[in-house]
Amino acid sequence: MLRCRRTLVAFTAIMRLPGGAALAQAIGAPRPWEMGMQAAAGPLKQAQIDLHDLVLVIITLITLFVAVLLGWVMWRYQAARNPVPSRTAHHTMLEIAWTVIPVLILVIIAIPSFRLIYYEDKPRDADLTVKVTGHQWYWEYSYPDKNNIDFSSYIIPDDQLKPGQLRLLEVDNQLVVPAGKTIRVLQTSTDVIHSWFIPSLGAQRYAIPGRTIETWFRADKPGVFYGQCNQICGTNHSRMPIVVRAVTPEEFDAWLTEAKTKFSDAAPAAQPARANGEPRLLAAAGVQR
């Protein structure tokens, strides 16, 4: 119930933004009473939905078949209709059928599953590379092929949220990418295992210390897409949101020009204060920020 209430609050906030329902369609965020997955905003998510729908059809047919078979057996072989049960065993054709048919079903599921795993693994001809580094408890983003622009992304505390912003989902610095372009993502961590997960884009990979793991995504149209760390990484695990803002190529070029100044090495990184006014503590190093 608490999750449903939070989702309803988030949806209400979206609807209050300029543009109302039209803008809500361009935002990858949870919605109240959502029964299925978030709508696909890119090819990875669409491929995942297609596989999900295929498996759902298969398991639904299996469930109906087993239910009908069980009901028929209970009716046909009840004591009143079948007072003397048979002792038949080792029915050759039946044993072949219940061995071969499940194998074929698994093959039908395995082929698109392996194709999807391979499809998600590495991009072809990526247009932009972004390095994602997980920290306790914030994200760091770098653009290696764009003058090594580097910045941190922290959650916006509840008492600093502006009207229309989503609680536990908003950050001070969003990851900005061009819409319609293939984005290669290199992920690692400096302390513990994190997970960079954006449902509407179908992007999810673990950030593991000492390793660099690759994935990719593409936002088919401009919009704002929300995610969170979905690997329990400590006390502030729930306060590591992700916001990806996809913009037109022209807007991205303009953002790059601004970012080169805003996030230059000479400029000190802006670190938001905690909601209770206490300084931020890095668990790994034990230093205050």
Contact at 8 Å (CB) between 247 and 179?
yes
- The CA–CA distances, whole Å, from 253 to 42, 43, 151, 247 equal 21, 24, 17, 10
137 cis-preceded (ω within 30 degrees of 0): yes
Residues paired with residue 224 on neighbouring β-strands, in sequence order: 27, 245
Read off the pTM. 0.76
Question: Helix crossing, 43-76 with 92-121: angle to 10°?
Answer: 160
CATH class of 43-121: mainly alpha
Query: What is the pLDDT at residue 79?
Result: 85
- Tell me whether the CATH fold assigned to 43-121 matches the one assigned to 128-262: no
pLDDT band at 191 (very low <50, low <70, confident <90, very high): very high
Q: What per-residue confidence (pLDDT) applies to 265?
A: 56
- CA 244 to chain CA centroid, nearest Å: 12
pLDDT at 21: 38
Query: pLDDT confidence of 225, banded at 50, 70, 90?
Result: very high
- pLDDT value of position 82: 83
Q: Map out the domains of the chain as residue ranges.
A: 43-121, 128-262
Is residue 42 within 8 Å of residue 179, measured between CB atoms?
no
Better pLDDT: 212 or 30: 212
Indicate if the pLDDT at residue 212 is higher than 70: yes
Predicted confidence at residue 26, as pLDDT, reads: 55
pLDDT in tens, 66-87: 999 999 999 988 888 888 888 7
Q: What average pLDDT does the structure give for the chain?
A: 83
Whether 63 shows a pLDDT value over 90: the answer reads yes
Give dist(CA 7, CA 31) in Å, integer: 6
HEC string of the chain equals CHHHHHHHHHHHHHHHCCCCHHHHCCEECCCCCCCCCCCCCCHHHHHHHHHHHHHHHHHHHHHHHHHHHHHHHHHHCCCCCCCCCCCCCCCHHHHHHHHHHHHHHHHHHHHHHHHHHHHHHCCCCCCEEEEEEEECCEEEEEECCCCCEEEEECECCHHHCCCCCCCCCCECCCEEEECCCCEEEEEEECCCCEEEEEHHHCEEEEECECCCEEEEECCCCCEEEEEEECCCCCCCHHHCEEEEEEECHHHHHHHHHHHHHHCCCCCCCCCCCCCCCCCCECCCCCCEC
The domain over range 128-262 is classified in CATH as 3.40.50.720: no
